[in-house]
Chains A and B, each alone.
Chain A
């Protein structure tokens, strides 16, 4: 059994958790091109190394962020999303100023290519 440390519930069996995809910076939904949006939706940072991911403790519906090595499966750190997101995403206006963007791990950001 693999143990994941939930910031809210402590160490639990990883089977109690749901994987929620990598942490990415959402482009401005109103101002982005189709291509930018496609890059955001379909591309992940798939290089071998530490990635920043959303996880949920299913039983308590609590979402948090984990930093995990995607080859050794070693979880380096788990923390509350408040560390990265200091306010809810405001969907009524175009993407707010740069300061409100979460501090996404450099490795976890999608490296834009010419795909």
Chain B
């Protein structure tokens, strides 16, 4: 990086050709070895690692809108691994490690910033649950500890230590917690994948999936039919709708998740702070904006409309935590459709169709898993369906066998 930067600085001509990250769109070929449905972070990461680690490059990523325009651009960009179950912690820890070196790997700045994540406990029961999470995390090599209220006050001097009348008793301090620019993650993977020969087709919507004798033979799109060796679905909010097209249901319910950002201000908040009781999390981006996020909508919907009720309650909680935020103005607000599973863990791996692979059920926890998801899905596809150990617990058949991986306590409202 420093050498290329130096060369760039000394160059008389502005090297435009190096700035073009993506090749111009081309025609769809008749056949691909792998068709990935969904051009978000997960789909692009899967394509990238297939090309990079396994030499599979005859890949088409089909995106109905534009690169990284779905939940990749709508999440609140929290990276952490302080989950509850050993399966979850193992999986997300690998993702955190991959994120740490992603900018170097892409030669593209994803604005990764490891500031630590702090979750506040307001009841004794939460303190006990946090202690368990800290121990599980430490066991798997994560840096997580339980800290007392004085340490919380020192870490975040601007925090109201008794928001909404709920005193902060302790905090779960996760040093590995980080944030990054989510769009840049999708762009970095897309750049790396297309440089290796992967084709990204935007504005290409899948309208049908051809299944013959338990195998996918091709997909129908608004630009014609494409035959393929296998299909991966990575479409977040519309996961259950797409799987229906392939002929099987998924135990996924779509819930909108709303968030917002304020105008940018000078840096005052280093860690990412969330409150377990107020269902609110607050963080300051590298650009200075304050991101506010909270719980999902109270009922399912395939829509990204916003509601005043949710905005009001979220802003009220944020102001309880940081009272001076009442002086700030909102810049933007938005919603995404999250594909929620009942145990708050993803559905990854095999499907009832032989050569159709699932990357779904990412609910409100998908962004942080992007790199490891790409690595493991690529391994699964390249091996022709041998499920990597890391994602075996997240199989679709866990529901029929009542083997859920319960991450609700570590996920809900603490993204």
Which residues of A pack against B, CB within 8 Å? 1-2, 14-15, 18-19, 34-35, 38-39, 41-44, 46-48, 53, 70-73, 110-115
10 new A-B contacts at CB < 8 Å, known A15-B309, A46-B250: A34-B400, A43-B249, A44-B300, A48-B241, A70-B300, A73-B303, A73-B305, A110-B249, A115-B248, A115-B400
Binding site for A on B (CB under 8 A): 240-241, 244, 247-254, 298-303, 305, 307-309, 342, 352, 396-397, 399-402
Partner of B249, one of A15, A18, A41, A46: A46
On whether the beta carbons of A70 and B301 are closer than 8 Å, the reply is yes
Residue in A2, A70, A72, A114 whose CB lies within 8 Å of B248: A114
CB <8 Å contact, B402 and A70: no
B247 x A113 contact (CB < 8 A)? yes
Contact A70-B302, Cβ < 8 Å, known A34-B400, A34-B401, A114-B352: yes
How long is the Cα–Cα vector from A35 to B251 in the complex, in angstroms?
Answer: 13
- The dominant DSSP class at the B interface is loop
A2 contact from B247, B307, B342, B399, Cβ within 8 A: B307
Enumerate chain B residues within 8 angstroms of A111, measured Cβ to Cβ. 249
State in angstroms the CA–CA spacing of A39 and B248 once bound together: 12
A110 to B307, CA, bound (A): 29
A19-B298, A71-B302 given as contacts; is B249 within 8 A of A115 (CB)? Answer: yes
A18 and B299 alpha carbons, distance in the complex (Å)? 8
* Interface pair B250/A71, CB less than 8 Å apart: no
Look across to chain B and name the residue whose beta carbon is closest to the beta carbon of A71: B302
- Could you tell me if B301 and A34 are in contact, using CB atoms closer than 8 angstroms? no
Q: Which of A43, A46, A115 has the most CB of B within 10 A?
A: A46
CB closest chain-A residue, reference B308? A1
Is A46 a contact of B240 with CB atoms below 8 Å? yes
Contacts of B249 in A (CB 8 A): 43, 46, 110-113, 115
**Cα-based distance from A35 to B397 in the complex (angstroms):** 10
Q: Which residues of B contact A113 (CB under 8 A)?
A: 247-249, 352
Smallest CB separation, A113 vs chain B (Å): 4
- Chain A residues with Cβ under 8 A from B402's Cβ? 34, 38
